[in-house]
Amino acid sequence: MAETDRRVAFVTGASQGVGQAIAERLGRDGWHVIVAARRREALDAVVAGIAAAGGSAEGVVLDMRDPAAIEAVISAAAERHGRLDGLVNNAGRFSGRRIVDTTLDEFRLNFIMNCEAPFLAMKAAIPAMIKGGGGAIVNISSVSGLRATPGTGGYGASKAGLIHLGAIAAMEVGEHNIRVNTVTPGSTWSPTFRKSVEGKTPEEVEAMQKTGTILGRFAEPSEIGDAVAFLLSDDARFITGVNLPVEGGAYWFRGGNRLIGKRH
């Protein structure tokens, strides 16, 4: 496949975990993947892995807390390739403090990373997509944006905002043949999540999975990547404004447990 024939996707937070899995899946699907993150060494490893699997990729260093850099890097990528067909807003931040223990700066940083940065990335990508005749955007939210969980005030609120922002964007750009959807993962075996359960026994982790989802397990990063790849593909050409939970039924399972508990 000639380089000019490849669709081009820009994936943020792609140096590990879910972002890496998304980039690798898109590489296998024939996209040219621009992987963006803050750590050059990690980016180089992801790019090398995609290339070794027969894909095409490049890495760009990008701090999603820098508004000017977001616009400059995405615009430059679109100009360099003469097209931008896909954008995945995966980079984000998790805060695990209760409201009374959360500083205003910490609260704001959740919104900067989880809502403001995707807004700026979409703002930079949409003109290039319009110029190219269309495209697809996928924002990565969280099940915490769907249900209230103690200790996730800033995180949950910002992820809920991202879901709503995506729906509004879909309404605004549909006339330009641009689709905007959201994928909402639950607990996923990313490096960050694995670190959060390091102090637990295997039995405790197994219990968490059995009591946390209908399917009795947590997601692999590749399973989130599969959902994103579908929404970016032509198979989803008539799907826009959708929030797709990819969480093994965690939302309904936990909600049902709470209701049952109240009855007894």
Q: Which residues pair with 246 in a beta bridge?
A: 185
- For 22, the token pair is 């998304």
- Secondary element (H or E) of residue 262: helix 250-263
Find all residues with CB under 8 Å of 230, minimum gap 6, and list them: 236
d(CA 188, CA 246): 10
- For 4, the token pair is 């000019």
How many Cα atoms within 13 Å fall on the side-chain side of residue 162?
40
d(CA 206, CA 143): 20
Residue at 238: amino acid letter: F
Q: Is residue 251 among the annotated active site residues? A: no
CA 181 to each of CA 154, 163, 207, 238, 240: distance values in angstroms, whole numbers, following the listed order: 22, 8, 32, 11, 5
CA 73 to each of CA 22, 43, 77, 154, 180: distance values in angstroms, whole numbers, following the listed order: 20, 15, 6, 27, 21
Q: What angle do CA 138, 144, 150 make, to 5 degrees?
A: 160
Query: Which residue is catalytic, options 31, 155, 218, 253?
Result: 155
Residues with catalytic roles: 155
